[in-house]
Amino acid sequence: MTEAALKADSLVKQLHAAFCRDVDRQDLLRIAAKGITDAGPPYTSVYMYMLDRSGKNLVLEAFEGRETEHTVIPVGRGLCGRAVRLAQNLNIPDVAAEASYLACNLETKSELIVLIRRHDEILGQIDVDSDVPNGFTTVEESAVKEIADALAALL
């Protein structure tokens, strides 16, 4: 079976076009989340968590896919909070093997977290859940990073 790959370049163009039409921040985040999930497996659900003013909490500002109860995640908590604390992207092949994993459903098998950074500042993150075990390779990591870097310039 051939899976549709995420066309990061084309999604970045779409984000730039939306920015020029003056769409607001939440819409930019929504367009990014939808564009990623539209690519299909391994991208099951996409959550856009942004740091609040205090820099202590990640707040869910937009998502596409399954709903989550985790709308606010303190830095340091869960995999999302770990990525910010370590200032590092995370590619987790098996979420069940992670003691600190915050589950929002039983279908998710792997997770990719890519930080949205402007120079040294972390603005937030793109959190991708996958129903596919070990769903993400460096190809997906680079594609999602392209989207994160575009957002860092536009938000």
Distance CA 50, CA 149 (A): 14
Is residue 37 within the footprint of ligand SME (CB under 6 A)? no
Distance CA 27, CA 155 (A): 10
Distance CA 120, CA 142 (A): 19
Judged by CB under 6 A, which of 104, 132, 152, 154 binds ligand SME?
A: 104
Distance CA 69, CA 17 (A): 32
3-state helix, strand, coil in the chain (%, to 5): 35, 25, 40
Nearest approach in angstroms of CB 104 to ligand SME is 4
Phi, psi of 126 (to 5 degrees): -105, 120
Is residue 61 within the footprint of ligand SME (CB under 6 A)? no
Region of residue 122 (left: phi > 0; alpha: psi -120 to 50; beta: else)? beta
Strand ranges (E), the chain: 45-51, 57-64, 72-74, 90-92, 110-118, 121-130
Nearest approach in angstroms of CB 43 to ligand SME is 13
Q: Which is nearer to ligand SME, 51 or 80 (CB)?
A: 80
Judged by CB under 6 A, which of 44, 68, 91, 125 binds ligand SME?
A: 68
Residue nearest to ligand SME (CB): 78
Q: Which is nearer to ligand SME, 64 or 129 (CB)?
A: 129
Judged by CB under 6 A, which of 42, 127, 135, 143 binds ligand SME?
A: 127
Is residue 79 within the footprint of ligand SME (CB under 6 A)? yes
Q: Which is nearer to ligand SME, 12 or 65 (CB)?
A: 65
Nearest approach in angstroms of CB 111 to ligand SME is 6
Q: By CB under 6 A, name the binding residues for ligand SME.
A: 47, 68, 70, 73, 78-80, 101-102, 104, 111, 127, 129
